[in-house]
Structure 1
């Protein structure tokens, strides 16, 4: 992982109008950076806003407020067709559901080659075919699969096709939006290992969105924990697991099962109660130890520091 910031999120908000008066603050003031070559894990329970964050970054949604800087340029400010086309080539997305994210009426050849065609990355049909064959081999499939349709594949194979489609335009940054949640446990590790292998080979940078903390730890360099549209904790992967500070992070970690019957029998689940927080002031993101940030008030900040010392 380099020290070059590839993506900078500054005060990002995504609010949705529900009816005439109600507003859902799906993303409410996020701030974080992603460095070139790293995997940044974004975790939280369903409905916390993590998938909305990914979709706003890649401009499937227009942000309500804030900035998304990709390689120093504001993504939200890109309006011309040529600017958007260039941006879409540099940033791709792997979607959660490998069943609905592939067009059932298109062959694998056309699904993977769609990006090549749009961006004019191949000169003729022979080169197009060769590139698709190469991509299929890269993700662990073979060229015979090119003439088939999505319904002829298993869930794990379809997700590999989704990865091949994302790789086709040779992006620098990939948003993986819960790419393994719809897959069998036996297949999940295969897909994650493939992503790690591709990152090492191609120098990719990932935003890995998931709710499975054990898998996020395995693939991520740093992890951000989201709760109701806000980032409540951010730290290096090992640091977050060894020294969780925010009560919500502790509750998530306490829910991870381990293949140890004795541990499971005596495991204590920690329930998170947001009403127990200090309400005397608006919480801020503060660094409680080097590169370990927590959303807290001044009073909570002092308590967390004392807890770490003890």
Structure 2
């Protein structure tokens, strides 16, 4: 019997007869039928029993990827743990050093003595020092004081630099200049020192952060000696010669022959050792001179302070034009062609 499509259509009788004759089927047909039954069972089992397990497996795979990323992150963090521990020890040491610079008790009397000494050393007139009220902070207590001094601009600059370089922590704020007279300036400033807050917390992390935020910047070296006063016209002032303040020379000392010649007229040609003493051999005035440490050379009261194989060091004295004396260094290098 054929259907409308032309394909043979099995009736129930034919199917039953086919089932009864299954035992007589050839081996390939039996294998094909068994494979078909197994495929049907696998599809049914996968559809009804394994779908939930497959979804759970997918979730576990996603979690595995996340855990692998976390393991890689923790591994990199563990690799830098030793360096971080050393950095923490360094920070703790710096923190301890800073705490040692913050006195537990007020040291205002000693600070006042240091400020007075700095003012006198720089030729300033200390007009007033007014202690202001304490200002508590989370880790420390500020001790501000209002200071008024009068003097020349380079001396005021040296005074400020000296205050900022005191052994105790002192910061300078609110600088204000005004003319005391045509040649002098009046400086008003607030100097703050600090002491440790006894009731501060012991949390090292919070303390270090608070101290880092409040710590003043490191002082900057200011070469004030060779700069002009910005509060006066350049035509009305003289630029100070460069040099270090020094004690004046003994003007009654008899001058030697070599002190009548400029230092530039000498050149070092070698050294000479006699026992433990070393001499410098200098050529000048058409002859060789043997000089030791402490001998004088040149018109500016130059004294030899050190003798090396490659050069000789001298210290010269000269007036600054304002009644004081300054010292500068001079070097004579070895003439290798001599």
Place the TM-score, normalised by the shorter chain, in its bin: under 0.3
TM-score, structure 2 as length reference:
0.21
TM-score (norm 1): 0.23
